[in-house]
Amino acid sequence: MIELRTPTQIEEMKPAGRFVADVLVALKDAAAVGVNLLELDALAHTMIKDAGAESCYVDYHPSFGASPFGKVLCTSVNDAVLHGLPFDYALQDGDLLSVDFAASVNGWVADSALSVVVGNARQEDLDLIETTTRALEAGIEAARPGNKVGDISHAIAEVARDAGLRINTQFGGHGVGRTMHGDPHIPNDGRPGRGFKLQPGLVIAIEPWFLHTTDEIYTDKDGWTLRSKDGSRGAHMEHTVAITADGPLILTARD
């Protein structure tokens, strides 16, 4: 079911968006060569406790998950691109790290992700992050009343295709509200003018993710982490966006 929020409810969602943005900034600043993924998870956990927020991940146990997630953060490194379960791993020079974080503040959820390279970056990794960022921006730009879900999907996919990337539509954006995953699904490719008509009050996570040379993924033996089939690296960018009469409002903006 697709739910629309009142302007008052969108105001109430802003603290969650700001909190999630603050945590991502802290994680980006903390990510460095030698830092362990479990330290990043602990940092997010501390910030959740200090803020009186609630993790959306720790008890998360969907049908495809082997057991409850158990951590508060997804950390996906190099050929891992989504749902990376933090484990005992110290980041190495040149690693491409994607962090995905969702939390609830005052009963409202926000969800956001970013990718960053620690230490000396390969140019191709910086290019992949830049393309994924532009795809997110194009998707957000299309998230306005009168457009349809397909317009967001198409805007994202055009940026990816222009960069020669392939697109997986299995995992994508989603409605956000009292819980982390609601309708509608926002695929990262689609036909313009198709799908649910966007209207003020719709709050969605838009989240392009791409791999260098494939669109195929498999699940790691940890039961969660999604890795590229060919070993190529991935990037992931996500914001929670409220569609208003004036256009898209990025609730998880980091500036």
Binding interface with Mg ion (CB under 5 A) = 100, 111, 113, 238
Give the separation between CA 30 and CA 114, rounded to whole angstroms: 13
CB of 207 to Mg ion, least distance (A): 6
Instruction: Give the residue with the Cβ less far from Mg ion, 118 or 205.
Output: 205
Give the separation between CA 248 and CA 200, rounded to whole angstroms: 9
Give the separation between CA 43 and CA 83, rounded to whole angstroms: 18
CB of 123 to Mg ion, least distance (A): 27
CB of 73 to Mg ion, least distance (A): 10
Q: Please, which residues have CB within 8 angstroms of residue 42's CB and are 6 or more apart in sequence?
A: none
Instruction: Give the residue with the Cβ less far from Mg ion, 166 or 181.
Output: 181
Q: Please check whether residue 232 is in contact with residue 214, taking contact to mean a CB–CB distance below 8 angstroms.
A: yes
Query: Per DSSP, what are the bridge partners of residue 234?
Result: 211
Instruction: Give the residue with the Cβ less far from Mg ion, 142 or 206.
Output: 206
CB of 56 to Mg ion, least distance (A): 9
Instruction: Give the residue with the Cβ less far from Mg ion, 57 or 189.
Output: 57
Which of 79, 78, 82 is CA-nearest to residue 94? 78
